[in-house]
Amino acid sequence: MDTQPRRTFLKATSVALTASALRAAGSNDRIAVGFIGLGAMGSGNLGFAMKQPGLQVAALCDVKQDALERATALAASQGHKPKTVKDFREIIADKSIDAICVAAPDHWHAYMMVEGCKAGKDVWVEKPACTVIDEGLKMVAAARKYDRVVQVGTMQRSGVHFQQAVEFVRSGRLGKITTTRTFNYLRLKPEGNGTPPNSAPPPGIDWEMWLGPAPKRPYNPVPAGHEFRRYWDFAGGMLTDWGAHWLDIVQMAMDEAMPVKISALGGNFWVKDGRETPDTLEANYTYANGMLATYETRASSTHSFSGNSQGIIFYGSEGTMVLDRSGYRVIPENGSKLEAIQVKSSNNSNIAHWANFLDCMRTRRRPQSDIEKCFRSTATCLLGNVSYRSGLRLTWDDKNSTVLEPEARKYLTREYRSPWKLTV
C-alpha cells in the first residue's frame, strides 16, 4: 500500500487544523505568549506585544530576579497576570502557551527557538538569529520540519518607509547600484565599561543558567549585563548587533542574495576595557550581481559626511539614497532625471512587526522576517566576523552553506557545554 499520499494528506490536514485553531483563538480567545529574557530587548518586546489585540501574556521568564520583577509589574499595569519562572523549559513544556518570545542573550537564541518549535510553538526570536552558521541552518530546518511560524526581531522589515525604500531600489530608479555602505559611528569613553574583577554571582541571578551552553567562566558584571555582545562566547559585537539590521535591509533590497567574497579588518583601537569583539571594524562583501557592500563601525567619532551616524547608503548611477530609522532621502546625480525625494518614517515598526507575527500565526503564512531570510542576513554578519578572526579573505559556497577556506571552518560551529545539545 502506498502510504505517501496519506502522510502528505495528514500533514496538510494537521497544518490546516492548526491554522483554523489559531484563527479561532484570535477571534474568540487570546493567543498565549511566553516571554523568555526580559532585559532591554525582552521588556521592549513585552511592551510592543501588549499593544496587540488578542494577545495574552501567559508567562515571563528570566534568570535575573530584578528583570523578572520589572516585567511582572509592566505586564500587571496592562491587566496581565502571567506566571513567572526562572527556567525557560517550564514555558516550553506548557501546552497552554501558543508562542514564545526569545530575547535571552544571543548564545541562547538557537537552542530556545529549536526547542520551542519541537514543542509545537511558534517563535519570535531576537536578532541576530544565531552566533554561528551551523546554528542557523538547524534553526531553519526546525522551523520547516515542525511547520512553525518563526519571526526574527529585525523589525525594520515591517517599517513602511523601509519597505518603500526597498521598492525604490528594486525599481531601478537609482540606476545601477555598485556600492552600499552600512554603518554605526559611536563616541564611547576610552575606558568603556571598565575592568571590574570576577566575583561570586550576586543574589538574584542564576549564573549557571545564564551561561547555559556557553563555556564555563567566572561571573563578571560586564558580560553579565548588556555588554555580553562584546564577547565571542555570547555574541558577535557591533557587526551582529547592528549589522544584522542594516545588512538585512540591503539583502532584502537585493532579493535575499548572500555575498560570494568576504573580508574584514579592524581591532580594539579606542576602548580599553577587555572587550573581545572589535570597537573598529570594516567588513566588505562582494555580491554576484556586481555590488560591494560594506559595514563599518568605530567607537571614537560620530562624524559622517552623510550627516547620519548610522544607517544605509545605496550608491546608484542615477542617484544616492540615505536610509535610516527616521526616513530616507534621495540625492540625484548631476545630469540625472531623478528628482530629489525626502520621506519620513510613518509607523512604529516594532508594533507592526508584532502585528505581522500574530497575523501569520493565524494564517500560517511566513512572516516578514522569516527565519530563512534572516538566517541569511545574520550569516552575512557572521562571515564578516569569521574573516576578521581568521585573518582570511573568504569565499562563500552557498550551495553547501560553508566557506571554501578550510582553516576558517572552525568558526562556523561551536561546541555546546553539557548538558545542552542542539538537535532538530
Alpha-carbon span 377 to 262, nearest angstrom? 13
Instruction: Tell me which residue of 381, 399, 64 sits closest to 241, measured CA to CA.
Output: 381
**pLDDT tens-digit series, residues 330-339:** 999 999 999 9
Mean pLDDT value across residues 59-82: 98
| pLDDT exceeds cutoff 50 at 25 | no
Q: Sorting pLDDT into bands at 50, 70 and 90, what band is 5?
A: very low
Q: Sorting pLDDT into bands at 50, 70 and 90, what band is 29?
A: confident
Q: Sorting pLDDT into bands at 50, 70 and 90, what band is 48?
A: very high
The predicted pLDDT at position 14 comes to: 41
Percent of the chain's residues with pLDDT above 90: 92
- Strand order, beta sheet including 291-298: 341-344, 327-332, 319-324, 310-316, 177-185, 291-298, 280-287, 261-267, 394-397, 402-403
Residue 402's φ and ψ, nearest 5 degrees, are -155, 180
**What distances in angstroms separate CA 19 from CA 7, 12, 92, 235, one per listed residue?**
18, 11, 20, 35
**Contact indicator for 77, 39 with CB cutoff of 8 Å:** no
Mean confidence (pLDDT) of the chain: 94
Least reliable range by pLDDT among 23-32, 153-162, 190-199, 382-391: 23-32
Alpha-carbon span 122 to 267, nearest angstrom? 39
| pLDDT exceeds cutoff 90 at 2 | no
What residues does 264 pair with on adjacent strands? Answer: 283
**Contact indicator for 405, 390 with CB cutoff of 8 Å:** yes
Mean pLDDT value across residues 43-51: 98
User: Going along 8-130, which residue ranges are E strands?
Assistant: 31-36, 55-61, 83-85, 99-102, 122-125
Least reliable range by pLDDT among 27-36, 327-336, 395-404: 27-36
DSSP 55: E
**Contact indicator for 63, 206 with CB cutoff of 8 Å:** yes
| pLDDT exceeds cutoff 60 at 155 | yes
